[in-house]
Structure 1
């Protein structure tokens, strides 16, 4: 028999121990500072992964490269005097994109889909005296993707993203500091598809409205499982292949709206995932439908070069509210955060540097659960260059 966790460390918290871990709900591009909002957004300054249809906005003969880093600090608290913190620095996104012709945009990249990272202590009774059990989880599901987007006419664009989902989810258990530990290894792989559409049109002479929608198809994830017994030097003493496990990744519906005059931009998004229809349940947890709402404002200062006006410094502010797919002891995990960001162009205009910050909290103190207070900082680097030009000589 065991008790509730007495202590927990790690970036993603005890909540990542359930299902397939913490789902990555944030977008680590220039959308970060507006609450990771941008389903209806089209931009020729960065690659917008939130909608597969957006890549048709890449300028003709341009090649684009994006990389994003995240630093994170998390504090953990409960009603039993738990007060701990953790920090992390990681690469969250790599992506490239280019315009194949006047209508067809292509992008490929790599980013996390879910993360598992936790450590908890509990008490196990093997005899009359209790032994401390340490349970550690790590890994997560990664996403590699290739996206194709086509501009149907001056107002409509559509796109399809082929996502390759793969990665390990490991659980290591050690009782009483013994020299033998038990490790459950799970490895997932499957292909998932996400589709999108965007519409842009003018309202009067100054304003442009954008509408966007995405749909992610249901996917059955296959998990290969293995039980491994290790000694204190992490040498495998015994291993056994277990029956494979199937897990359903549900459909996701999402929609967004944008309104801009080229200087001021307002964005709003909504996402819904049907986890309750396909989800699993345990003795004290179950999976429920998830919803995420976000909105943000962006102001772009313009620079003039002769007869041409280009985008200069950009400032942002946003807000996000997320009802998680996880319910523990009758409490659905909620995540509330505020964001801000600034985008700075280089002198040549080919490179943009972006810094975004986010402060928020997740979880609750009710029913012996843990509340997390976190701070995220994102550095995003975007290169835009003309590559596909045939040189001519006199």
Structure 2
């Protein structure tokens, strides 16, 4: 047990250190409160985001009902394991416009979670990113000189507490409370030139910061039953009501010099711009976060294979962030669909390691709800992955790969072609064992 805990903390430190390069490099993270992170495990993501399937040895971060499952036969039907999960990802993105292209890389810590069984209940706690901001954008004059420069970074995180309850065999329900916190930073420079087209020595940079926090909830239910001697049917649903994030905003103005060759900036002076926010009534604002409903179903043979489909619906048309509004941006309701599954050649094989590996695959498509220049920003991805047993069938390492695209090159927009590599550890052990005496 101690060795496994040490491994968890070492992995957490390593992933967190690696993630310092930034959580995203998407220009679409400029809008709203950033790009929404995938809320799920590597196992889910490797099946196109599918989260309808639950089992007793993996944490399902997308449905709080999954924390309450039936006891394991391997534990004499007396208990189920305590589960640990930690994951991170690396993304390489090719950014394309009508005239130019560029590449970017980013890495991020995705989640750390612990699930503890307590009788018919199951409790989960953890931390995971919610949104991420990371962009560097320039607009240009007709002669190619820079007009404006926009920079942004930051994001929101969620600390969560989940409780699931096994109502009866195959049926569980759950509720999750989340506390969201974090900050968003952005800056803009409007380049000013003299009559000869040369950059002036001094430029003005506006720096904005929003510190956000708020509480949200997620409700879930899951039902599994055998439809005959061989096949099981699984269905699940989750609902997250709309919520409000409170934003404390600040602003400064900097006088800077810019090296015309390297583009590096040197700060000359800083002025507090709080009064401009007070005059605009934006010192403290609220961000309305949309509600979300997910429903899925699937069929398979226990511990052999499973295939399922899942739909997600978000009322992003009601999203509002008055501190970060853009005239060319609107929102509509978002719709996403996932199709995926897994296959295990022989989960309890004594020989042949690869017979116990879980092979996963899936695809997803989503209308994100973001509309820029009257163009809907859509996303598509195809994913593959594997669960690699670690010593016993109850612990494993998971790897996943995803290729896909987001956005379009129409109307001066940018298309992102991305490759994701995801890795996680799912470690399980037994606590609170009752001693028996003959």
Q: Same fold (TM over 0.5)?
A: yes
| Residue 106 of structure 2: aligned partner | 88
Q: Secondary structure at the match of 1:145?
A: strand
Which stretch shows the higher mean deviation, 286-295 or 40-49? 40-49
CA distance in 1, matches of 2:145, 2:389: 60
Shift in Å, 1:34 = 0.6
| Residue 54 of structure 1: aligned partner | 66
Please list the CA deviations of residues 80-118 of structure 1 after superposition, one character each: whole Å capped at 9, or x if unmatched: 2x11001122211111111012x1001111111111110
* Aligned 1:15-94 pairs, distance under 5 A: 15-25=28-38, 27-38=40-51, 40-57=52-69, 59=71, 60=79, 62-80=81-99, 82-94=100-112
| Residue 6 of structure 1: aligned partner | none
Q: Which runs of 5+ in 2 are unaligned?
A: 1-21, 72-78, 192-200, 256-265, 278-282
Q: Residue 124 of structure 1 contacts residue 133 of structure 1 at CA under 8 Å; is this kept in 2?
A: no
| Residue 162 of structure 2: aligned partner | 147
Is residue 98 from structure 1 mapped to residue 113 from structure 2 by the alignment? no
CA distance in 1, matches of 2:112, 2:28: 26
- 1:249 is aligned, of 289, 307, 326, to 289
* Aligned 1:275-290 pairs, distance under 5 A: 275-279=316-320, 282-290=326-334
Shift in Å, 1:147 = 0.3
* Aligned 1:317-336 pairs, distance under 5 A: 317-336=361-380
Is residue 156 from structure 1 mapped to residue 171 from structure 2 by the alignment? yes
Q: Secondary structure at the match of 2:356?
A: strand
- 1:117 is aligned, of 87, 112, 134, to 134
- 2:391 is aligned, of 347, 354, 360, to 347
- 1:174 is aligned, of 189, 211, 218, to 189
CA separation of 1:23/1:234 partners in 2, compared to 1, >3 Å: closer, same or farther?
Answer: farther
What is the count of residue pairs matched by the alignment?
Answer: 376
Q: Residue 349 of structure 2 contacts residue 356 of structure 2 at CA under 8 Å; is this kept in 1?
A: no
CA separation of 1:236/1:388 partners in 2, compared to 1, >3 Å: closer, same or farther?
Answer: farther
Please list the CA deviations of residues 25-73 of structure 1 after superposition, one character each: whole Å capped at 9, or x if unmatched: 35233111110101x3211121001111111027525211101010110
Greater share of helix: 2
- Please give the root-mean-square deviation of Cα atoms over the aligned residues, in Å: 2.5
Greater share of strand: 1
Shift in Å, 1:285 = 1.0
CA distance in 1, matches of 2:203, 2:373: 34
TM score, norm. by length of structure 2: 0.80
- 1:361 is aligned, of 405, 417, 428, to 405
Q: Residue 59 of structure 2 contacts residue 67 of structure 2 at CA under 8 Å; is this kept in 1?
A: yes
Q: Residue 29 of structure 1 contacts residue 46 of structure 1 at CA under 8 Å; is this kept in 2?
A: no
Is residue 238 from structure 1 mapped to residue 272 from structure 2 by the alignment? yes
CA distance in 2, matches of 1:52, 1:303: 26
Is residue 269 from structure 1 mapped to residue 310 from structure 2 by the alignment? yes
CA distance in 2, matches of 1:289, 1:206: 39
Structure 1 runs, 4 residues or longer, greater than 6 Å off: none
Shift in Å, 1:297 = 2.2
CA distance in 2, matches of 1:317, 1:104: 31
Q: Which runs of 5+ in 1 are unaligned?
A: 1-8
Please list the CA deviations of residues 279-307 of structure 1 after superposition, one character each: whole Å capped at 9, or x if unmatched: 4664211011001100102101224479x
CA separation of 1:153/1:366 partners in 2, compared to 1, >3 Å: closer, same or farther?
Answer: same
Shift in Å, 1:174 = 3.1
Q: Residue 39 of structure 2 contacts residue 61 of structure 2 at CA under 8 Å; is this kept in 1?
A: no
Q: Residue 29 of structure 1 contacts residue 47 of structure 1 at CA under 8 Å; is this kept in 2?
A: no
| Residue 263 of structure 2: aligned partner | none
Please list the CA deviations of residues 167-187 of structure 1 after superposition, one character each: whole Å capped at 9, or x if unmatched: 101112234484653210001
CA separation of 1:141/1:48 partners in 2, compared to 1, >3 Å: closer, same or farther?
Answer: same
Q: Secondary structure at the match of 2:393?
A: coil
Q: Secondary structure at the match of 2:288?
A: strand
CA separation of 1:244/1:386 partners in 2, compared to 1, >3 Å: closer, same or farther?
Answer: same
Which stretch shows the higher mean deviation, 241-250 or 267-276? 241-250
CA separation of 1:322/1:12 partners in 2, compared to 1, >3 Å: closer, same or farther?
Answer: farther
CA distance in 2, matches of 1:143, 1:10: 15
CA separation of 1:56/1:171 partners in 2, compared to 1, >3 Å: closer, same or farther?
Answer: same
CA distance in 2, matches of 1:131, 1:35: 40
